[in-house]
Structures are given as C-alpha cells and as structure tokens.
Amino acid sequence: MKITDIKCAVIASSPVIRITTDEDITGWSQIETPKPYMQPIVLQLKSWIVGQDPRDVERVMRRIRVRGGFKPFGAAVSAIEHALWDIAGKAAGVPVYRLLGGKVRDQVRTYRTLYQGELPGGAEHTPEGYRRWAEYGKSLKGEFTLFKLPTSFHSSMVRDFPNYFYGEVQTDAPYPYPHKGLMTKEGFDHLVACVTAARETLGAGYNTAVDAGPGFMPIDALRFAKAVEGLHLMWVEDMITGDYSPYVNPDVYREVTRSTTTPIHTGEQIYLRQNYKALIESHAVNVIGPDPCDVGGIAELKWIAEHADLHGIAVAPHGTANGIIGLAALIQMSATLPDNFIAFEYPARFEPFWYDITEGFEGMPVKGGLIDVPDRPGMGVNLLPKEAKKYLSEGDADFFD
C-alpha cells in the first residue's frame, strides 16, 4: 500500500486532513480549532510522505518529525500521524487501540473544561459567578464529574479585576495569554475566594482542576498552590509556562511542586518525548497534559505516559479544541494508557453540525463522565463527503476529488 495524496481543508476554522492510498483506504484527522493557518504547513509535508506505506507509521513519522515544533507547530505532524493510524487500523480491520498494544479499559474517563462564556449570559469573575459556573457544570449533558476551571492569567480576570497584578494589562497583544507579573494581595485573595466558591459549590462527587496561566511568578504560584491545599483540587495547570510557551522551565516548576501538596500540572505545548525528559525525570510536576494534536501523535503520547508512569507522574491528556475526529483519537489512545491516566480533556469546542457530516458518533458520547471505547476499524470516525461539502470554502472545493 502506498500514500497517493494528502489534502487539507478548513471547516469552521479547523483544518481537516485527508490521506488517500492506492488501495482506496482513506485516513482522516483534524487539527485543533482554531488553527486555520496550519493548512499550508500540512500541505508542505506532502512530498515527504507520498509514496510511503502508511501502515509503517513510525517509518513515515521519522521522515517528518523534524518539521514540527512546540505548539502550534507540532500540529501538522501530529495530525498526519493520526491519519496514518486510521489507515493502518482500517487496513487491518481493527480499531487503532489494538495496534497500540490493546486496550486496558473498556471505558475512558473524560473531564470538561467549562469556559465562563458558555454560561447563559456569561459568568463574572466573582465568587458568585464561580458558584454559577459550578451549578451550570453539574447540569451539563454527559454528567461530567471532573471539570477544569479557567481563571487568573488564563482568563479575563486579569482585566476584569482592578489592579489584579503588577504588570501592564494587554488588550491587543498577538498571543493568547500575554499577561505576566507579581499579583497584588487584593488580586491574590480574590482568586482564592473565586476558586474556593467553585470547588465548594461542586460539592461531593465532583472535582475540579484549575487552569491558571501561564503568567504566574514562581512565588505566587507557590502561594496559590498552598492556599488551596485544603480544596483537594485535581491539579493547577500551566501557572509558570504552558499554553503557547515554546519552553518548559522544569527547574522552576520543581521548586513549586516540592513545596506543596496541591498537584502541579503542565505540558500541553510540548512537542515530542525528548522535551518531556527533564520534566518527568526531575519530578518537576505531578501531572502532565500532552495534547495528541500537538505532541507528535498518539503513539508519542503513549510513550510519554509510560515513561511518566515509571516516575510516579500522572497523565491527563489535553484536548479542549481537538474536534470530533480528535475526540476519536483521544478515545483510542486513552484506552491503552497505563494506570497513571486520570482523564482526557473533552473536545467540547465544536459545532453540532459535525455530527451530521461524520459517521461514528450518534451524538455526544459521554455518559456519567465516561465514554465506551468503540470497536470500529481505525479511529472510528469518517467524514461524509456529501454532507461535508456544504461546509467547504471555494478554495477547498476539490477536497473530496
């Protein structure tokens, strides 16, 4: 079997990859929304993979890994890897999890990142707004029991609360989270009060992680982690570096982690296992969160999870905007991870029409916070050309040709 072509179309800001073969088996994958700018980067890799046998996933990946980098520049390589596994599974007539060593669980747990803007009318960054956040989360379809709360430097709190930190508030910077600085006592106390309100409102049977940065100075990261120790949070994420940071700073994280019982988490921006090595082997954090759509693929993430397990570090794969095909990849991979697996982040940020233009999911698959692992060949989700064509731009009109 040989790869004959790779195409990439942007549907609702999400690049969708189609790899075709000379045996009429098609592999599908998806890049995190919104990264439409990755489309030409995907297509630049065409000459590196056409003519290769897609079932030899590692051989193909060794040709293109050098072309990736820290988030967002590992997305193209990662998406191609997903599509290769999709083809390999379909060619063998088995779900991808069997090719990764087989599943160790029949259901996978998922957690829900709930953005304040999703609430009807929104939710202010106040204790009352955070109580509303928690009540709304408990009412969501899927009966999620684990949530992630965006707050502090990973939210508009830095703009909404006067004098939140000693730094310039960015209003038109080109990066998602450009704020950084030492927090004022008033800002710090406000953050603790908000997170406490959310956690206490969730109550028994629920838990939450906190997505807080990047942007914290290390001393504030430690102060905050210690201040919320009694809340038994799942973790506090990316306080120092993280989302869209092209570096890791494991030595700085380690100074915080070793001084608190609140689990410290980072890793969604990291590309490849080599860049996890120091983070894991120095015990710099308690939880890692690689994203299969950024880290280099699902096999890469499985290797990282196994290495973390050897060092007593938990894994909670990132995936907030990975789309419906990314959801399929997360399920297949998570079914094979070792027992340090907590839950993966549910890709909630995609439009309902995706269920109409794909086959594989009969609506939202989460029940009681769990998803049954399907046995469909490959990743288990395919685009329906007739329906999907309605959402193609003029420039992508030949995507299914």
What tens digit of pLDDT does each residue of 115-162 get?
999 999 999 999 999 999 999 999 999 999 999 999 999 999 999 999
Q: How far apart are CA 337 and CA 146, in angstroms?
A: 19
Question: Considering only CA atoms, which of 93, 52, 49, 78 is closest in space to residue 299?
Answer: 78
Q: State the pTM of this model.
A: 0.97
What tens digit of pLDDT does each residue of 233-287 get?
999 999 999 999 999 999 999 999 999 999 999 999 999 999 999 999 999 999 9
- SS3 state at 127: helix
Q: How far apart are CA 211 and CA 232, in angstroms?
A: 15
How big is the CA angle at 51 (ends 46 and 53), to the nearest 5 degrees?
110
pLDDT band at 173 (very low <50, low <70, confident <90, very high): confident
Radius of gyration over every alpha carbon of the chain, rounded to an integer in angstroms: 21
pLDDT band at 172 (very low <50, low <70, confident <90, very high): confident
CATH classification number, 99-379, choose in 1.10.1270.20, 3.20.20.120, 3.40.50.1100, 3.40.50.460 = 3.20.20.120
Sheet holding 14-21, edge to edge: 3-11, 14-21, 27-30
Element (H, E) at 388: helix 385-388
Q: How far apart are CA 97 and CA 373, in angstroms?
A: 9
What tens digit of pLDDT does each residue of 70-102 get?
999 999 999 999 999 999 999 999 999 999 999
Contact 243, 237 (CB under 8 A): no
Q: How far apart are CA 223 and CA 370, in angstroms?
A: 34
Contact 27, 5 (CB under 8 A): no
CA atoms within 13 A on the CB side of 264: 29
At residue 6, what is the residue type? Answer: I
Phi/psi at 376 (nearest 5 deg)?
-70, 145
pLDDT at 170 over 90: no
Domain locations in the chain? 3-94+383-396, 99-379
Q: How far apart are CA 316 and CA 238, in angstroms?
A: 13
CATH classification number, 3-94+383-396, choose in 3.20.20.70, 3.40.50.300, 3.90.180.10, 3.30.390.10 = 3.30.390.10
What tens digit of pLDDT does each residue of 280-324 get?
999 999 999 999 999 999 999 999 999 999 999 999 999 999 999
**Domains 3-94+383-396 and 99-379 fall in the same CATH topology:** no
What local confidence, expressed as pLDDT, does residue 387 receive?
Answer: 97
Q: Environment class of residue 308 by beta-carbon count within 10 Å: exposed (0-12), middle (13-18) or buried (19+)? A: buried
**E-strand stretches of 215-286:** 236-237, 264-266
Determine the average pLDDT of the residues in 355-381: 97
% of the chain residues with pLDDT over 90: 97
pLDDT band at 174 (very low <50, low <70, confident <90, very high): confident
What local confidence, expressed as pLDDT, does residue 175 receive?
Answer: 73
DSSP state of 31: P
